[in-house]
Amino acid sequence: MVCVVISADSNASKYIYPQIAPQVAADISVTQFTHCVDHVALIAHSVIDYRYLMGLYNDFVFDTNMRFLPVCLLPPMMISDDARDQQAHLPLLTTQIVKVQAQGNAYVSDAIMQLAHTDTYQVFIHELAHFAGFLDEYPMSAAAARFQCDIARNAPNVIHASQLTDNNDQPHPYADIFIAQLNLRKNNADYEHIGCETQHNQIRRFLLHPNDFTFLRFYDVPVIPYLYQYLWQQQVLKRRTSNIITGPSY
């Protein structure tokens, strides 16, 4: 396995937007990672798959914007499409899997990511965040919104209005940060989750960042907001990510 670690930018805090209110009790600093907590396996079934995944691998290893994330990619490996064969040949430290196909939509299902040859590196980063529980922030179909907004109570980038109060039986893990963010704005409408507005149950859900800019709304956004970096790092460090079970199959 190859993993390159480069010191984090000491001026990273200047990218916080908007600034955090001083009443936040948690330490929201993003530190450089020194070891890999999650290990993502890149599985190829053909030479074309292998070349595509090697491109993603190289982009990730040398992407200085991702130095905050304690996640390493395993070099691409050629494994047959047989499920038992995959289970037997995956390294034991594998936590998630990336597969590729000629065409189709990119998506994540539990600990497995599916990409197409035409998907860009930024699409890969977007999908990688789903392993850590982040939800999409773009407008979506009613069926997709219904599913996503129902599971939003533990998503790091979405909070239900009821979770902003102390009297809640399903507390959000980052409620104090959301409260501080929303208190900075007189109008919280900019933070309402547009993916949930097709729901008619009158349950308001808020994002941690305004709707106008985030890599979870636009695939081609190269900069991940500082707070999202913090939440993503914490999700991995606290092992709140999807995880497969590896080992020999019998």
CA–CA dist 108, 110 (Å, integer): 6
Q: Which are the contacts of 38, defined by CB distance < 8 A and separation ≥ 6?
A: 70, 71, 72, 95, 96, 131, 236, 241
CA–CA dist 46, 193 (Å, integer): 40
Q: How far is CA 142 from CA 87, 175, 195, 216, in A?
A: 36, 26, 9, 18
Asked which of 15-19, 133-137, 190-194 is least confident by mean pLDDT, the reply is 15-19
| pTM across the whole model | 0.83
Tokens at residue 67, please?
Answer: 């130095």
Position 1 scores a pLDDT of: 44
Q: Is residue 9's pLDDT more than 60?
A: no
Portion of the chain with pLDDT greater than 70, in percent: 80
What average pLDDT does the chain have?
A: 80
Position 116 scores a pLDDT of: 96
The CATH number of domain 12-134+226-237 is 3.30.300: no
Portion of the chain with pLDDT greater than 90, in percent: 38
Going by the DSSP 8-state scheme, the letter that residue 192 receives in this structure is: B
Of 159, 214, 215, give the one whose Cα is nearest residue 188: 159
3-state secondary structure of 89: helix
Tokens at residue 231, please?
Answer: 């939440």
Position 2 scores a pLDDT of: 39
Q: Where are the alpha helices (DSSP H) in the chain?
A: 47-61, 83-89, 121-130, 142-150, 175-183, 226-237
Range with top average pLDDT, 56-60, 178-182, 205-209, 219-223: 56-60
Q: Is residue 202's pLDDT more than 80?
A: no
Of 13, 7, 6, 5, give the one whose Cα is nearest residue 226: 13
Tokens at residue 171, please?
Answer: 């507390």
Q: Going by DSSP bridges, is the β-strand pair 158-160/38-44 parallel, antiparallel, or unpaired?
A: unpaired
CA–CA dist 219, 125 (Å, integer): 8
Looking at per-residue pLDDT, the higher value among 86 and 37 belongs to 37
Domain edges within the chain: 12-134+226-237, 142-207
Tokens at residue 192, please?
Answer: 């309402």
Residue type, 168: N
94 close to 61: Cβ distance less than 8 angstroms:
no
How confident is the model over 132-156, as pLDDT tens digits?
999 998 887 777 777 777 776 789 9
